[in-house]
Amino acid sequence: MSGPLVNATRFRAEHSADWERLDQLVTRLERKSLRSLSDDDLLDLPRLYRSTLSSLSVARDTSLDRSLLTYLEQLSTRAYFQIYGVQTSPGRQVLRFFARGWPLAIQALWRELLFCAVLTAASALAAFLLVRGDPDWFYGIIPQGMAAGRDPAASTAFLRGTLYGNERDGLMVFATFLFTHNAQIAIFAFALGFAFAVPSVLLITYNGLMLGAIFAVFAAHGLAHNLAGWLLIHGTTELLAICVAGAAGIRIGLALAFPGAAQRMEALVAAGRTAATAMLGAVLMLSVAGILEGVGRQTITDDGLRLLVGAVALAGWLLYFFLPRRTVDEAR
């Protein structure tokens, strides 16, 4: 279309009906809410928005009068914020996130999440068997600073003391180190998913190896049950958060490597949206794990009760995540 050949009067006459219609819908949204629109209005809204954007583009290219340009720019901006912008209060957004956004994102990642859980368990079993067969494997898996004397050379009394000793000195330091370490694994497992998911898989594997290695040491002294209580009271939440982070990273990596029929960027944006929502929740889970670790484990010293708290927490998370929910579109 050639700019100078566009007649401003004819241009207005051909498109003004769509502009006025969009203006009415946007005004209704600004004064009331989405519920004020009928189904036909909702179907018309994106079409009218695209039509107005097209008109704005033509008006700019052909240098039509300034007042028309201003009108179309303002109308397009108002429509953009109503279609893509924030239309609900912060409180409703938070409620929507917890009611649907987060659990639906986890449900969408169920394959990757299951893979991470199985990988963690398999890695832990492999490390457990390796260390039980040859304790020297322990030193190749667990960093010296993290072990802090909890190695195959430690005595039963020392290991038991780390589980029930003074929580405010050495064990607290170890617990803080462990939490920081696991938080870092979760963050990196998500952030490095862009490298075709390989680092995410390696981090999840390594986390499982460490878990199995430390259990092998305590199991050799008959303290596996005691360690399970000490670790799992917060560990079920923390390990699940790490698996969620790993699943989010893997989803991004897979979208990048295998975009399928979609354009690679489109697949990456879609995967990133789901993964980011899941990861945002994983950060919250790590916070809950920190509370269970810092408060729950300090006040609960009975192994059975510690295991019960960990089991209830795990069951609660799984029930919350996988309880059937309507999608946003179905809810309308």
Long-range Cβ contacts of 287-290 (<8 Å, 24+ apart): 288/237, 288/313, 289/179, 289/182, 289/234, 289/235, 289/237, 289/238, 289/241, 290/179, 290/234
Rounded to whole angstroms, how far apart are CA atoms 56 and 75? Answer: 10
* The pLDDT of residue 2: 45
Summarize pLDDT for 94-106 with one digit per residue, the tens: 888 999 899 999 9
Distance, CA of 230 to chain centre: 27
> Mean pLDDT across the chain, nearest whole number?
84
Which DSSP state fits 109? T
Q: Are 79 and 56 in contact (CB under 8 A)?
A: no
| Domain boundaries of the chain, sorted by first residue | 11-87, 94-322
Determine whether 33 is exposed, middle or buried from the number of CB atoms within 10 Å of its CB (0-12, 13-18, 19+).
exposed
Whether the full predicted model's pTM is greater than 0.75, yes or no, is no
Distance, CA of 94 to chain centre: 15
Rounded to whole angstroms, how far apart are CA atoms 30 and 130? Answer: 65
Based on its alpha-carbon atoms, the radius of gyration of the chain, rounded to whole angstroms, reads 28
* The pLDDT of residue 64: 65
Summarize pLDDT for 210-259 with one digit per residue, the tens: 999 999 999 999 999 999 998 999 899 999 999 999 999 999 999 988 88
Helical (H) or strand (E) element with 291: helix 264-291
Stretch 293-300: mean pLDDT, rounded? 79
Closest CA to 321 of 15, 19, 98: 98
* The pLDDT of residue 78: 85
Stretch 198-216: mean pLDDT, rounded? 93
